């Protein structure tokens, strides 16, 4: 028997060697990840080494996602330091299968993004993504494609789920996730011009951008116009009260955290009531048009109407 031992050892060694698969191997073996693989292996091997030694869930942008991203950036002004933050934002420390992320209501999942430039939540806490197969509010009546909602409302669909590596799973996504930005910057990116004017004119920019764990309900420009609200026709006090009535601080109000029928205290003091009905999220009686836009300091829900503060 003993003469067989060295042979057995070699067999076992080569077997365990063959089984070792890191994120690097997934990237190299998956045809639709060739662009990401090329960028990392040829331009940023240091990030690939780090990525390959981590565990968790990695959202890997497909070739289409990479080419759209590359053409959206200006190579002359693009800061390569951002790549590190982008990788961190695409990596969840926890292991989530596509099925885990496709539950009714959706899932708020912590990422590895902790750079204070993109995160102002509880001290030391990373920012999050919202994953849902039931729409941006997680309330659709039927299951649809699994999407990952990130900064500025970017929604990336999972196009190839559950590629297993030794430390977790890789899901191929069809868009690069957007890093969470300040409220002001998010409003600019989503063309919420009138909401931005409100913030500027009331001097509440510091509250809006600087308050950790803020939930904002931001009416669209169409909503302001339909409500006939003219900033120049109301007093600064009224404008301030109106804006404060659209903001909540405290636990971040991702749709998963907001309960149907429950009241939430706004910065004005008066509460708003959340409703979840007919597959939609409502604030008082105003429908949310785009839910779970992840921001640096919390979340924004875009409203199809304007909330009327009581007594104004
Ligand atoms: C990635 O990690 C795996 C498993 O830990 C290892 O076997 C492999 O050699 C690594 N690949 C690279 C390119 O570093």
pLDDT in tens, 289-310: 999 999 999 999 999 999 999 8
pTM reported for the whole predicted model: 0.93
Q: 312 in a domain, yes or no?
A: no
DSSP 103: S
**Range with lowest mean pLDDT among 35-44, 74-83, 267-276:** 74-83
Q: Which residues contact 207 (CB under 8 A, 6 or more apart)?
A: 214, 247, 267
Which residue of 13, 15, 16, 20 sits with most ligand 1 atoms within 8 Å of its CB, as the best mutation to test the pocket?
A: 20
CA of 48 from ligand 1 middle (Å) equals 10
CA of 20 from ligand 1 middle (Å) equals 7
* pLDDT exceeds cutoff 90 at 68: yes
- Final residue of a domain: which of 145, 173, 201? 173
pLDDT-based confidence at residue 188 (cuts at 50, 70, 90): very high
CA of 146 from ligand 1 middle (Å) equals 29
* pLDDT exceeds cutoff 90 at 4: no
Closest CA to 171 of 94, 106, 235: 94
Which residue of 25, 26, 51 sits with most ligand 1 atoms within 8 Å of its CB, as the best mutation to test the pocket?
A: 25
- Final residue of a domain: which of 173, 207, 239? 173
What residues does ligand 1 touch, defined as CB less than 6 Å away? 20, 22, 24, 52, 166
Q: Is there a single domain that holds both residue 166 and residue 218? A: no
* pLDDT exceeds cutoff 90 at 9: no
Give the residue whose CA is nearest to atom 5 of ligand 1: 22
CA of 92 from ligand 1 middle (Å) equals 19
DSSP 190: T
Ligand 1 atom showing the smallest separation from residue 165 Cα: 4
Q: 74 in a domain, yes or no?
A: yes
CA distances to 20, 51, 130, 269, 299 from 254, in Å: 38, 28, 8, 20, 6
Query: What pLDDT is recorded for position 266?
Result: 98
pLDDT for 203-251, tens place per residue? Answer: 999 999 999 999 999 999 999 999 998 888 899 999 999 999 999 999 9
Mean pLDDT of 110-126: 97
* CB distance 173 to 158 below 8 Å: yes
* DSSP string for residues in 108-154: EEE-S---TTT--SSTT---EEEEESS-TTS--SS----EEE-BTT-
* pLDDT exceeds cutoff 60 at 2: no
Q: 178 in a domain, yes or no?
A: no
Contacts 24+ apart (CB under 8 A), 204-208: 204/240, 204/243, 204/244, 207/247, 207/267, 208/182, 208/183, 208/184, 208/247
Q: 211 in a domain, yes or no?
A: yes
Q: 308 in a domain, yes or no?
A: no
- Final residue of a domain: which of 173, 194, 228? 173
Q: Is there a single domain that holds both residue 121 and residue 197? A: no
Q: Is there a single domain that holds both residue 265 and residue 169? A: no
Give the residue whose CA is nearest to atom 3 of ligand 1: 22
Query: What pLDDT is recorded for position 18?
Result: 60
Ligand 1 atom showing the smallest separation from residue 23 Cα: 1
Cα separation, 61 vs 34, whole angstroms: 10
Give the residue whose CA is nearest to atom 12 of ligand 1: 24
pLDDT-based confidence at residue 122 (cuts at 50, 70, 90): very high
pLDDT-based confidence at residue 170 (cuts at 50, 70, 90): very high
Give the residue whose CA is nearest to atom 7 of ligand 1: 20
* pLDDT exceeds cutoff 70 at 14: no
Q: Is there a single domain that holds both residue 108 and residue 251? A: no
Query: What pLDDT is recorded for position 227?
Result: 94
**Range with lowest mean pLDDT among 53-57, 67-71, 226-230:** 226-230
* pLDDT exceeds cutoff 70 at 16: no
Give the residue whose CA is nearest to atom 2 of ligand 1: 22
Helix (H) or strand (E) holding 105: none
Q: Is there a single domain that holds both residue 167 and residue 214? A: no
Give the residue whose CA is nearest to atom 1 of ligand 1: 22
CA of 25 from ligand 1 middle (Å) equals 7
Cα separation, 60 vs 30, whole angstroms: 10
Domain that holds residue 107: 2-173
Q: Is there a single domain that holds both residue 68 and residue 34? A: yes
* CB distance 221 to 191 below 8 Å: yes
Mean pLDDT of 98-122: 98
CA of 84 from ligand 1 middle (Å) equals 19
Phi, psi (degrees; rounded to nearest 5) at 26:
-60, -45
**What share of the chain has pLDDT > 90, as a percent?**
89
* Conformation bin of residue 298: beta by default, left when phi > 0, alpha when psi is -120 to 50: left
Query: What pLDDT is recorded for position 88?
Result: 98
Total number of domains in the chain:
2
Ligand 1 atom showing the smallest separation from residue 52 Cα: 1
Q: Length of the chain in residues, anyone?
A: 312
Q: Is there a single domain that holds both residue 149 and residue 11? A: yes
- Strand (E) positions, the chain? 56-61, 91-92, 107-110, 128-132, 147-149, 155-165, 168-173, 214-219, 247-249, 263-265, 271-277, 280-283, 286-295, 298-303
CATH number at residue 251: 2.30.180.10
CA of 160 from ligand 1 middle (Å) equals 22
* CB distance 134 to 106 below 8 Å: yes
Q: 311 in a domain, yes or no?
A: no
* Conformation bin of residue 231: beta by default, left when phi > 0, alpha when psi is -120 to 50: alpha
* Mean confidence (pLDDT) of the chain: 94
């Amino acid at each position: 028997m003993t003469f067989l031992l060295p042979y057995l050892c070699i067999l076992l060694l080569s077997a365990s060697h063959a089984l070792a698969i890191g994120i690097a191997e997934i990237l190299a073996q998956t045809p639709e990840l060739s662009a990401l693989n090329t960028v990392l292996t040829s331009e940023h091997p240091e990030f690939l080494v780090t990525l390959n030694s981590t565990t968790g869930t990695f959202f890997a942008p497909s070739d289409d996602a990479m080419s759209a991203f590359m053409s959206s950036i200006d190579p002359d002004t693009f800061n390569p330091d951002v790549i590190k933050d982008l990788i961190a934002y695409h990596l969840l420390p926890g292991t989530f299968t596509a099925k885990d992320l496709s539950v009714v209501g959706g899932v708020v999942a912590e990422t590895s993004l902790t750079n204070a430039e993109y995160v102002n939540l509880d001290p030391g806490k990373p920012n999050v993504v919202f994953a849902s197969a039931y729409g941006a509010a997680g309330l659709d009546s039927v299951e649809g494609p699994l999407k990952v909602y990130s900064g500025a409302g970017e929604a990336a669909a999972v196009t190839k789920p559950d590629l297993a590596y030794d430390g977790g799973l890789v899901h191929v996504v069809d868009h690069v996730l957007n890093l969470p930005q300040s409220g002001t910057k998010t409003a600019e990116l989503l063309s919420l011009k009138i909401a931005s004017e409100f913030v500027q004119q009331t001097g509440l920019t510091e509250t809006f951008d600087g308050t950790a764990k803020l939930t904002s309900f931001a009416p669209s420009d169409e909503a302001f116009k339909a409500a006939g609200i003219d900033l120049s026709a109301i007093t600064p006090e009224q404008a301030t009260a109106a804006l404060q009535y659209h903001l909540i601080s405290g636990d971040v109000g991702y749709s998963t955290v907001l309960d149907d029928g429950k009241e939430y205290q706004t910065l004005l003091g008066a509460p708003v009531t959340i409703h979840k009905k007919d597959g939609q999220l409502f604030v008082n009686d105003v429908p949310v048009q785009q839910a779970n836009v992840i921001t640096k300091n919390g979340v924004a829900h875009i409203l199809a109407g304007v909330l009327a503060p009581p007594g104004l």
